[in-house]
Amino acid sequence: DKVTIGVSVPAADHGWTGGVNYFAQQAIDRLKVTYPNVEFVFASAPDAPKQIADIEDMVATRGIDALVILPGDPDAMTSAIKQVKDAGKFVTVVDRQLSINGVENLYVAGDNPGLGANAAAYFKEALPEGGNIVILRGLPIPIDQQRFDGFMAGIEGTNLKVLDDEFANWNRDDGFKVMQDFLTRFPDIKGVWTQDDDISLGAIEAIKQAGRDKDMFIVGGAGMQQIIQAVADGSALTPVDVSYSPAMIATAIELTTAHLVSGVQVSGRYVLDSTLITKDNAAGFLDPASPF
Amino acid sequence: MSASAPDTAAKPARGFRIDLKTAGPLLALALLVLLGITLNENFLSYSNLTNVLARSSFIGIIAIGATFVITAGGLDLSVGSMAAVIAGVMIMVMNWLIPSFGIGWSVVLAGMASGILLGGVAGVFNGLMITRGRIEAFIVTLGTMGIFRSLVTFLANGGTLSLNFNVADVYRPVYYDGILGVPWPILVFALVAIAGEILMRRTAFGRYCAAIGSNEQVARYSSINVDNVRLLTYILQGVLVGVAVLLYVPRLGSASSTTGVLWELEAIAGVIIGGTTLKGGYGRIWGTVVGVVILGLIGNILNLQSLISPYLNGAFQGVIIILAVLLQRERRTS
Amino acid sequence: MSASAPDTAAKPARGFRIDLKTAGPLLALALLVLLGITLNENFLSYSNLTNVLARSSFIGIIAIGATFVITAGGLDLSVGSMAAVIAGVMIMVMNWLIPSFGIGWSVVLAGMASGILLGGVAGVFNGLMITRGRIEAFIVTLGTMGIFRSLVTFLANGGTLSLNFNVADVYRPVYYDGILGVPWPILVFALVAIAGEILMRRTAFGRYCAAIGSNEQVARYSSINVDNVRLLTYILQGVLVGVAVLLYVPRLGSASSTTGVLWELEAIAGVIIGGTTLKGGYGRIWGTVVGVVILGLIGNILNLQSLISPYLNGAFQGVIIILAVLLQRERRTS
Amino acid sequence: MASSVGETAPIILAASRVSKSFGEIPVLFSIDFDIRPGEVHAVIGENGAGKSTLIKILSGLEQPTSGSISFDGQTVVLPPNGAAEAMGIVLIHQEMNLAEHLTVADSIFLGRELKKFGFLDVREMRKRAAAVMETLHVHVDPDARINTLSVADKQMVEIAKAISRDARVLIMDEPTAVLSVGETQTLFEQIRRLTARGVAVIFISHKLDEIMELAQRVTVLRDGQLIATVGTEALTPDSIAQMMVGRELSNLYPPKHEPDVDAPAVLSVRNLSALGVADVSFDLRRGEILGFAGLIGSGRTAVAEAIVGLTHRSSGQITLDGKPVDFTRVSQSVDAGLAYMTKDRKGKGLLLNMGLRPNLTLLTVKKHLRAGFLDSASETRALERAVRRFDIRARDASVAVGRLSGGNQQKLMLGKTMESEPDIIIMDEPTRGIDVGTKQQIYHIIAALAAEGKSIILISSELQEVIGLSHRVVVMRNGRLAGVLEGAEITESEIMRYAAGIKQSGNDERISA
Ligand SMILES: Nc1ncnc2c1ncn2[C@@H]1O[C@H](COP(=O)(O)OP(=O)(O)OP(=O)(O)O)[C@@H](O)[C@H]1O
Ligand SMILES: Nc1ncnc2c1ncn2[C@@H]1O[C@H](COP(=O)(O)OP(=O)(O)OP(=O)(O)O)[C@@H](O)[C@H]1O
Ligand SMILES: [Mg+2]
Ligand SMILES: [Mg+2]
């Protein structure tokens, strides 16, 4: 008989969440064809209250049997998601950990501290004697903090010196501005960590404009096609990237659907590693169809 | 000799005649409800309606405060950030009091008190800068919008402030329970709306707000203390933001730098859709309630169907907002 | 003093006396520059100053349009979203024309033309809804803000629209190059500011804007076609958003749903900091330029120091904005 | 100062050696003034003489730069912002001072609302508002919003507001400027009722006959100086005028030139109906001054506004020089040589926050363009011309028009209208708030314009003015044309008969002639 699955994700307000929206809809379109008796309800929300409203509506008016959710702000969403669970729905949480354990049936996790740690490892390797680096952060929200802490822990005890960190809001324009000003301020920068490829794209333009693209390298994150292509091409400015694929949402939707339709037992945690993308393995991350 | 001709003038008092200006938003509301009913049979269900009303209550309560501010010719852009900082401080206060008070209602009540108090203080600050500092309300509250938002980011150290789970369990019923099946947020919203309506129509304060918004000089010459009345509108706004946050915290149990983003825009939109004049002089609490519910319903209706691409939600919202006001205008001129 | 004495009669205009109201924002600007110099010796460097001015130019050009809209008693909240949709469409048009036109300036020029055109059309739409539809500007542009933003998200399929790299290479110089060492964005900003200043002070249109914003009835009784003038302000705003986008696209060669977020707030803030009255009737292009540069410098200065936690950036911004206007007020009353 | 009234009642309010400057500019020099209970004390003087400033000081709205105020024999500093109302000093402002969004009842009780259990007693306030309006014979709905009222009705609301307060001193700054004879008489009845109860009334007016009728004493100001305070019994309108202006005022009205009966009709209105107007037809000939008389709200303004396209015309034809026209915008009528000067200078006539120059040229900005740009030199020349022609007095051209004295604002508005050099001018209460000296000048200007071949419609509530200037007079009543008077018929009593509906004429044959 009919099964309804709700999918709730944050609004496409920067590259990575844009990718999440894209891959979620892709997966839904694909699975709708494969499983004609499964109906999907998709919603994206710019903030926690709206996202809570979305899942309340899914339960109250759309009669969902399962919920796949990438919570924009997991702490704020925990009790609302728990209500869905308590109403007897199957709950899959993606990427971000809720603040109480055991709410979700299935957790498909990204690894935010790992993203920071991976990048840190590369910096240590690329700058063994140490050197000045700057950090362009995302928005002041927990994921950013986890990435940042992971990175700082990773470079502890080295001679890498963080000159300053500023928020660039996961946004190309802000990446451009902050990088311009860092370049004005610091005559000697060896490396830039942006933790997000959208920010990188803005920062790259600023570095090129200042003509200092020979002096430094930049490490982003999330695996945007444009950057992966540059890595594959052996760019000196972007030698590596750290994966953090928005396609994890698709994995979560697929697993949940499989469970509901064919009773495949899925539970516990699926942690999708954040891996370092280098010239050697970049080809495996290229996907011309992806908008991200 | 008798003066002006009676037949061209004096119409009898209107008594309980329906105000055409009210009919506009009500009509838009009715059309939205109709749309909801056709889209989904569960639309009118008890749980859906209480869901929508309960979650509209934060913005609703804030918008009632905004109605007074706007009627008196002011503007408060800081309410969203203020909500965030109040939520953050409430959570910190409650977490901090657990060791001394233990888990229980006393902690929650202390948290609530601190929230209301902080709201009042924030309102006093905005109001004093505007009335005594003589700075445009737009600038003051744009400034405090940034200041409050920064403060909560700072307090949360860039992350999220979360309420202790045991306290959260005590506090939760304030959002999710109610009396006679009506959730508390709806009850509080209704109470605030009724009190607001009375304050606006039946007290000197409400009348003074309209007078000041309409013509400050006239108000001043009528020996109204313009600065104090205006200050009071900002304090009222702050306190009502505090009240809204009291209901918000048990729902989310956390606060971060993204809490309450764009609430100011939504609150002002609700006020204007409800028929209050943005330039001041005329305000209608009742209309604001309708306006906020319209905004809440639009979000709900978008979730009732899968026809519109979620990317176009904003467009749908925009069109409905314009239409809601267009209906009002049409009726007004006819 | 005798009745017919000339000293009681109207004296001619005051000539070039410095306007105290202008001194306020200029003083704030000077203080910021001083702060910048003390914080970082590179602050006054050629590259830093051109960087800041060039990236302020988008908001600046938009804010000049907003000055007219606000002077005439209107408001346009849609400019940020409008910029995003124009950028998106420009990029799509250019990418789409490559097969027929080949890589080169012809594609870029066609893209530019489409951008300006689209801006004008968006302005016409806003303006007609406001003047002919008689809907509050706040509501109309809040609506179109949502509509435009949705459209660009839809066009970009939730992601980013990127300009073909080869075309981007042709187009890049429009942001990064200039003449005599002055980047194009700064030149265009300066030109638009001068033209705007002339339009505001030396043409009937500018006079009409102020008259309408000051008292619409008086304007109507003075044979001014209020609706047309107001419509023109929105069209001008749209076209100027188009011009700003022409300079924005070559910078990063992309547009997404985050392009231009909150530009409306920044533009309006620039206008008000510059001394234009939010309620209309008095506008000052020159002040707007100063206001926008102040806002640009605040961001720059924050990035040039490590004293303030980045969590508190918003607070610093808020304080400076309030202070900038406070300075203005102080001088005004003295 | 020796009182010229042999009253024994103690002085209630007095100013002693009061001076006032705005910034550097002195406007009042050491004025002495006093008033006793039950007395009507008039203040007169030219426009800008300082009358409004004096009474603002007497009611606490302005503080004197030097000198003192005493109330009930005590030297006091009056509280600012209208708080002196609590002491019984009530002011009716020259410029109407009502909040446009409020209702009539709200306005009348603003600042001293009636309450029951802490809440507004809306019903009682509405009832009392209606009662006050009734004593003034005004028929407006207490729930009507101020912005829907005509100028005259607003003035009546303002008066109602003042007399409904428990005044001991009632100060009225040109309350009758927009009132017609009927309303003025009603107002005077109320004033007499109040003075009989011992209320002291300070009364400002440029209409000297009103002063003769009402006041016991007159204080004359000229250029901020106290000229004299004298009892009215010793005065004639001519002697007052002389004291005010400082010269003899012979012939207030210029001689009427012979109307040319064969002159063609430049403006014909047929069966005009619009908001507040029903089936109005009349002709205006070249070189003619056509007076429009009627009571408040009789539709004279409504006729004018419908003709020039300010309000929507529901039916009727208008022809200009024989050609049918259909103005939907004011610019069309101005371009066709037809200009309308509003009576609502504050709401519709002038931009109060702007200087003199932009106000003067607002209607005719296009005339001051050179190569598409505003030519400020040409604007300045226009201002200099207007200042000379209409004797406009201002500190300097950049002063906000809202700070000019009422009469000077009115002169500026006249100048603004005349800037468009119209062939046909509709003047609505053109001498509202203008002193006798300037009035005489304006009358001569109007007569000269007519002599030049311009045509003028003169809407006025001052019957003397209509009678003194007009070749023919249209009397309106209830939005309809009640009669057209010509030649010897033009008398006060005839006009009043038509206006009040006592006489009705089948005048169709006359106007179609
Ligand atoms: N707030 C003000 N600032 C500057 N000048 C002022 C102000 N108010 C009045 N004045 C000036 O003071 C003078 C006296 O003005 P006032 O209004 O008292 O004249 P008035 O006798 O009432 O004239 P009218 O008959 O035209 O009403 C005028 O020259 C006027 O321009
Ligand atoms: N905006 C409006 N809405 C409703 N009624 C109006 C409006 N404007 C005017 N009226 C009505 O039209 C009629 C004519 O008013 P109008 O002011 O034209 O009279 P008037 O004879 O010119 O007045 P006055 O004697 O003061 O010059 C009045 O009954 C008035 O109430
Ligand atoms: Mg820093
Ligand atoms: Mg006066």
Identify which ligand lies nearest to the alpha carbon of C310: 3
Residue C270 lies in a domain: no
Query: Chain C residue closest to D345 (CA)?
Result: C218
* pLDDT score recorded for residue C25: 80
Q: Which of C141, C314, C127, C334 is nearest to C232 (CA)?
A: C127
- Please report, as a single letter, which amino acid is at residue B144: T
Cβ atoms < 10 Å from Cβ of D176: 23
Q: Which of B312, B321, C265 is nearest to A12 (CA)?
A: B312
Residue C102 lies in a domain: yes
Residue B1 lies in a domain: no
The count of domains in chain C is: 1
Q: Encoding tokens for residue D330?
A: 């004011």
- Please report, as a single letter, which amino acid is at residue D301: T
| Contact present, D103 and D146 (Cβ < 8 Å) | yes
Q: Which chains touch D (3 or more CB pairs under 8 A)?
A: B, C
DSSP one-letter code for D231: E
What is the C-alpha to C-alpha distance for residues C47 and A181, in angstroms, rounded to an integer? 10
Residue-averaged pLDDT of chain B: 87
Q: What burial letters (b/e) apply to A262-280, b meaning 16+ CB within 10 Å? A: eeeebeeebebebbbbeee
Residue B146 lies in a domain: yes
Residue B126 lies in a domain: yes
C190 lies in which domain range?
47-261+278-285
Residue-averaged pLDDT of chain C: 88
Q: Which of B147, B95, B105, B109 is nearest to B125 (CA)?
A: B147
Nearest 5°: the CA angle B82, B85, B87 is 105
| Contact present, C287 and C25 (Cβ < 8 Å) | yes
pTM of the model: 0.90
Q: Which chains touch B (3 or more CB pairs under 8 A)?
A: A, C, D
Could you write out the three-class secondary structure of chain B?
A: CCCCCHHHCCCCCCCCCCCHHHHHHHHHHHHHHHHHHHHCCCCCCHHHHHHHHHHHHHHHHHHHHHHHHHHCCCCCCCHHHHHHHHHHHHHHHHHHHHHHHCCCHHHHHHHHHHHHHHHHHHHHHHHHHHHCCCCCHHHHHHHHHHHHHHHHHHHCCCCEEECCHHHHHHHCHHHHCEECCEEHHHHHHHHHHHHHHHHHHHCHHHHHHHHHHHCHHHHHHCCCCHHHHHHHHHHHHHHHHHHHHHHHHHHHCEEECCCCCCHHHHHHHHHHHCCCCCCCCCCCHHHHHHHHHHHHHHHHHHHHCCCCCHHHHHHHHHHHHHHHHHHHHHHHHC
Mapped onto helix, strand or coil, the DSSP state of residue C156 is: coil
Cβ contact, residue pair D46, C3, below 8 Å: yes
Which chain C residues in 283-322 lie under 8 Å from chain B, judged by CB atoms? Answer: 309, 311-319, 321-322
Q: Rounded to the nearest 5°, which phi and psi values hold at D76?
A: -135, 160
Gap between the terminal Cα atoms of chain D: 63
What is the C-alpha to C-alpha distance for residues A48 and A10, in angstroms, rounded to an integer? 9
* pLDDT score recorded for residue D96: 66
DSSP one-letter code for C9: B
Residue nearest to atom 2 of ligand 2 (CA): D148
Residue B312 lies in a domain: no
Ligand 1 pocket check for D50: Cβ under 6 Å: yes
Query: Chain D residue closest to C208 (CA)?
Result: D362
Decide if the complex's ipTM is over 0.90.
Answer: no
Provide the percentage of residues in chain C whose pLDDT is more than 90. 64
CA of D112 to the centre of ligand 2 (A): 29
Residue nearest to atom 7 of ligand 1 (CA): D403
C36 class by beta-carbon count within 10 Å (0-12 exposed, 13-18 middle, 19+ buried): buried
Q: Encoding tokens for residue C221?
A: 């009784």
Which residues lie with the beta carbon below 6 Å from any ligand 2 atom?
B 8-9; D 148, 150-152, 178, 275-276, 294, 296-302, 461
Residue-averaged pLDDT of chain A: 89
Which atom of ligand 2 is the closest one to the Cα of D150? 17
Provide the percentage of residues in chain A whose pLDDT is more than 90. 41
Identify which ligand lies nearest to the alpha carbon of D432: 1
User: Does the pLDDT value for residue A150 go beyond 90?
Assistant: yes
* pLDDT score recorded for residue C22: 58
Provide, as residue numbers in chain A, all residues whose Cβ is less than 8 Å from the Cβ of B162: 75, 99
* pLDDT score recorded for residue A266: 76
DSSP one-letter code for C7: G
Q: Rounded to the nearest 5°, which phi and psi values hold at B84?
A: -65, -45
User: Does the pLDDT value for residue B332 go beyond 60?
Assistant: no
**Structure confidence by residue, pLDDT tens digits, C253-303:** 999 888 898 899 899 999 999 989 888 999 999 999 999 999 999 989 988
Residue C304 lies in a domain: no
DSSP per position, D97-140: ---TTSBHHHHHTTTS--EETTEE-HHHHHHHHHHHHHHTT---
CA of D46 to the centre of ligand 4 (A): 9
Query: Chain A residue closest to B46 (CA)?
Result: A60
What are the residues whose beta carbons fall under 8 Å from the beta carbon of C16, sequence distance 6 or more? none
- Reported as half-sphere exposure (CB side, CA atoms, 13 A), residue D472 has a value of 21
Residue nearest to atom 6 of ligand 1 (CA): D403
Cα–Cα separations (whole angstroms), residue B201 to B187, B207, C316, D119, D188: 21, 7, 40, 9, 35
Provide, as residue numbers in chain B, all residues whose Cβ is less than 8 Å from the Cβ of C143: 317-319, 321-322
User: Does the pLDDT value for residue A125 go beyond 60?
Assistant: yes
Strands A38-45 vs A3-10: parallel, antiparallel or unpaired: parallel
Q: Which chains touch C (3 or more CB pairs under 8 A)?
A: A, B, D
Show the low-confidence residues of chain C (pLDDT under 70): 1-22, 329-334
What are the residues whose beta carbons fall under 8 Å from the beta carbon of C186, sequence distance 6 or more? C50, C53, C54, C57, C178
* pLDDT score recorded for residue B19: 52
Q: Encoding tokens for residue C23?
A: 């001194």
Cα–Cα separations (whole angstroms), residue A250 to A21, A30, D9, D472: 10, 10, 96, 89
DSSP per position, A104-144: -SEEEE--HHHHHHHHHHHHHHH-TT-EEEEEEE--SSHHH
What is the C-alpha to C-alpha distance for residues D246 and B75, in angstroms, rounded to an integer? 53
What is the C-alpha to C-alpha distance for residues C219 and C207, in angstroms, rounded to an integer? 10
Cβ atoms < 10 Å from Cβ of A34: 10
What are the residues whose beta carbons fall under 8 Å from the beta carbon of B273, sequence distance 6 or more? B25, B28, B287, B290, B291, B294, B295, B321, B324, B325, C139
Q: Give chain B's contact residues with A (Cβ, < 8 Å).
A: 40, 42-43, 45, 47-48, 51, 55, 58, 153, 156-160, 162, 165, 168, 172, 248, 251-259, 261-262, 299-300, 303-304, 306, 310-311
* pLDDT score recorded for residue D461: 85
Residue B26 lies in a domain: no
Show the low-confidence residues of chain D (pLDDT under 50): 1-6, 507-513
CA of D32 to the centre of ligand 1 (A): 18
| Structural domains of chain D, with CATH | 13-245 (3.40.50.300), 264-337+422-513 (3.40.50.300), 349-421 (no CATH)
Q: Which of A272, A274, A284 is nearest to A243 (CA)?
A: A274
| Contact present, D263 and D287 (Cβ < 8 Å) | yes
CA of C190 to the centre of ligand 1 (A): 43
* pLDDT score recorded for residue D506: 54
Q: What burial letters (b/e) apply to A39-73, b meaning 16+ CB within 10 Å? A: bbbbbbbbbbbbbbbbbbbbbbbbebbbbbbbbbb
* pLDDT score recorded for residue B21: 56
Which chain B residues in 3-32 lie under 8 Å from chain D, judged by CB atoms? Answer: 3-14
The sign of the CA dihedral A59, A64, A68, A70 is negative
Alpha helices, DSSP H, located in chain C: 20-39, 46-71, 79-101, 105-131, 137-155, 165-171, 173-176, 184-202, 204-214, 216-221, 226-252, 263-273, 285-303, 313-333
**Structure confidence by residue, pLDDT tens digits, A24-77:** 988 999 999 999 999 999 988 888 888 998 898 888 888 899 999 999 888 888
* pLDDT score recorded for residue D510: 41
A abuts D (3+ Cβ pairs < 8 Å): no
Rounded to an integer, the average pLDDT of A123-127 is: 92
